[in-house]
Amino acid sequence: MSGHENASGAAGAEAYNFAYLDEQTKRMIRRAILKAVAIPGYQVPFASREMPMPYGWGTGGVQVTAACLTAEDRLKVIDQGADDTTNAVSIRKFFERTAGVKTTEETEQATIIQTRHRIPEAPLAEGQIMVFQVPIPEPLRFLEPRETETRKMHALEEYGLMHVKLYEDISVHGHIATTYAYPVLVEGRYVMDPSPIPKFDNPKLDDSPALMLFGAGREQRIYALPPHTRVQSLDFEDHPFDRGHWDEDCALCGDAGSYLDEVITDDAGGRIFVCSDTAHCRARRQAGHAGAASAPYEEAGA
Amino acid sequence: MTMMMDRLRSADRRPAPVAADGARGPLLTVDGLAKHYGARIGCTGVGFDLWPGEVLGIVGESGSGKTTLLKAIAGLVAPDAGSIRYDAGAGPVEVRALSEPERRRLMRTDWAFVHQNPRDGLRMGVSAGANVGERLMARGQRHYGRIRGAALDWLARVEIAGARLDDRPSAFSGGMQQRLQIARNLVSEPRLVFMDEPTGGLDVSVQARLLDLIRALVRELGLSAIVVTHDLAVVRLLADRLMVMKDGRVVEAGLTDQVLDDPAHAYTQLLVSSILQV
């Protein structure tokens, strides 16, 4: 613990303890994380702190990351799959200044990956930690507004209501139209909101070798999936879970199997689809892959 | 109204409730039940037997403890004293001694509660089909087509057009909402149904149709029911037996026709004589 003191000195934020939070707070958060790991999918309350950013910007994820970081860690931060969007850039800069840790954009190099709304395309490995930013941890919230009641429903495994939502989806849209924050059943016990990741990423949660931690700052909850946890997406027998697909390939790297973002290119209906995971897309282009709209690969600044 | 009552009564009055197979005891036995709100009495010293297939009416004026009693029996409020024994087929079980998961399971499978205000008993944010299907999904049914089929079937049984299956209850009239609430409760084929003023707030012609429907369903499914109402016409049509409550206590109990036609207690006499004759 004492080894962390003043480790951030070189980064110019001498007034702060390593990774911004004081050691007692990190201890409290680690206790909640340990409990969450011990009961996969169970939402553990914790005394969430005010962070120097507004709620909804990842205060839960930042606290979990701060509690997990060591000086040797290499941090990657993504927002909607991209390393260079506002949320990702500001959180990465925050930890560069307050913890002085090395950062990376390559999934394989990272030991801790804080994410908003995506799981990277590159397969995760043993020893990596994924930290998810969670706005609303309670999957039953929009069906049952009472916290006392939802807790009881979790305790007694009364999850019929979750299927009422999926039923309603099918009756209105003809298929399960929940495309993100798609509820999952963890180890056959707790129903969990996997944070607003697209349902495309749900299969990556199942039996993942990495540790998955979920932090909700405003709602003051932490939950977790230890490595190699069984995670099933809820569905009906006659309407099985479908992760979705695109008719297009990535216009930049030509990948046919990654999660794509739609990009409007003009005001005449022109659009292309590109990988949401920017690090994955760049690595493929570096390796010589090309899509329909791509120019030859050049290093930035070259 | 009176004409219809006469027709219904003469046509198919239910036989006096007897245990059909002889050997079975009462479905529900309530003994010395009490619920106090601080120093005030909600209900006290209430006891009765309810037999399989029997409908028990509870009448009394507002504030007499009818709804408190019903909620105490159904477990919606915790009683202060007394016993509630329920026989699901394997011998009587003390409901108050059940663990919470067991009691909640009982509440959503074998029992059903029809609220006075359908908004209390329905999920207003999801379609009629999802409302009816909820209990099936809570019991673990995971086949969309079959759940939908069951919902469609139940809408027909409560006389709601199948085309309304995907409409939200907020788009329904008050009478339809009440029928939907009944369908939602009966889909799990409960043995015991609690009804709190099932016809409250409905106009008389809608009331009459709803009563017809409840009578038919109760007979068809062999349900036992406890019906709380202040409307004596409702119990005249539905109930085999009657309990009259005043100030939290039962002042008179007996066969419905006997109590209504030949009331013994002064309060019951007052109640019966207060009915407007049209």
Residue B110 has pLDDT above 50, yes or no: yes
Is A158 within the bounds of a domain?
A: no
- Between CA B153 and CA B161, with CA B158 as vertex, the angle to 5 degrees is 70
Most B-contacting residue of A153, A162, A171 (CB-CB within 10 A), to test interface? A171
**Using CA atoms, how far apart are residues A98 and A80, in angstroms rounded to an integer?**
24
**Using CA atoms, how far apart are residues A44 and B141, in angstroms rounded to an integer?**
30
Q: Are residues A95 and A195 in the same domain?
A: yes
Calculate Rg over the CA atoms of chain B. Answer: 19
Q: Are residues A102 and A250 in the same domain?
A: no
Q: Are residues A282 and A226 in the same domain?
A: no
Q: Are residues A60 and A33 in the same domain?
A: yes
CA dihedral B168, B171, B177, B183 (to 10 degrees): -40
Amino acid symbol at B75: G
d(CA B44, nearest CA chain A) in Å: 29
pLDDT digits (tens, 9 = 90+) for B134-191: 999 998 899 999 999 999 999 998 989 999 999 999 999 998 999 999 999 999 989 9
Q: Of A156, A164, A238, which is closest to B134 when you measure between CB atoms? A: A164
pLDDT digits (tens, 9 = 90+) for B229-275: 988 888 998 999 999 999 999 999 999 999 999 999 999 999 888 88
Amino acid symbol at A124: L
pLDDT digits (tens, 9 = 90+) for A215-256: 999 999 999 999 999 999 999 999 999 999 899 999 999 999
pLDDT digits (tens, 9 = 90+) for B190-232: 999 999 999 887 888 888 888 998 899 888 988 999 999 988 8
CB crowding B173-189: b at 16 or more within 10 Å, else e: eebbbbbbbbbbbbbbe
Q: Are residues A85 and A221 in the same domain?
A: yes
**Using CA atoms, how far apart are residues B177 and B124, in angstroms rounded to an integer?**
10
- Tokens representing B223? 């349900």
How many CB atoms within 10 Å of residue B150?
19
Bridge partners (DSSP) of residue B92 are B87
Nearest CA in chain A to B142: A236
| DSSP reduced 3-state for A116 | strand
Interface confidence, given as ipTM, is 0.80
- Tokens representing A14? 């001498």
A222 with A233: CB under 8 angstroms? no
Nearest CA in chain B to A236: B142
A164 with A249: CB under 8 angstroms? no
CB-based contact A167 B130, cutoff 8 Å: yes
- Tokens representing B203? 């106009």
Percent of chain A with pLDDT over 90: 86
Most B-contacting residue of A164, A169, A235, A236 (CB-CB within 10 A), to test interface? A164
CB crowding A93-126: b at 16 or more within 10 Å, else e: ebbbebbbbebbbebeebbbbbbbbbbbbeebee
**Using CA atoms, how far apart are residues B37 and B80, in angstroms rounded to an integer?**
10
B53 with B223: CB under 8 angstroms? yes
A92 with A75: CB under 8 angstroms? yes
Q: Of B123, B130, B134, which is closest to A171 when you measure between CB atoms? A: B130
How many CB atoms within 10 Å of residue B5?
14
Q: Are residues A192 and A281 in the same domain?
A: no
d(CA B58, nearest CA chain A) in Å: 30
Is A168 within the bounds of a domain?
A: no
| Residues of A annotated catalytic, as ranges | 41, 250, 253, 275, 281
Residues 156-175 of A with CB under 8 A from B: 156, 158, 160-161, 163-165, 167-168, 170-172
d(CA B192, nearest CA chain A) in Å: 21
Q: Are residues A119 and A79 in the same domain?
A: yes
Instruction: Place B8 in a pLDDT band, splitting at 50, 70 and 90.
Output: very low
The dihedrals phi and psi of B85, each to the nearest 5 degrees, come to -110, 130
* pLDDT (average), residues A143-150: 91
Please report, for the domain that includes residue A208, its CATH number: 3.40.50.11310
Total number of domains constituting chain A: 2
Q: In terms of residue numbers, what domain contains A280?
A: 245-291
DSSP A10: G
**Using CA atoms, how far apart are residues A153 and A68, in angstroms rounded to an integer?**
31
Is A273 within the bounds of a domain?
A: yes
CB-based contact B101 A156, cutoff 8 Å: yes
DSSP A251: T
Q: Are residues A197 and A282 in the same domain?
A: no
* pLDDT (average), residues A74-81: 95
Q: Are residues A258 and A185 in the same domain?
A: no
Is A167 within the bounds of a domain?
A: no
Q: Are residues A97 and A227 in the same domain?
A: yes
What pLDDT shows up at residue B62?
A: 87
Is A197 within the bounds of a domain?
A: yes
Residue B16 has pLDDT above 60, yes or no: no
Helix (H) or strand (E) holding B24, with range, is: none
d(CA B221, nearest CA chain A) in Å: 25
| DSSP reduced 3-state for A232 | strand
Nearest CA in chain B to A176: B144
Bridge partners (DSSP) of residue A222 are A44, A215
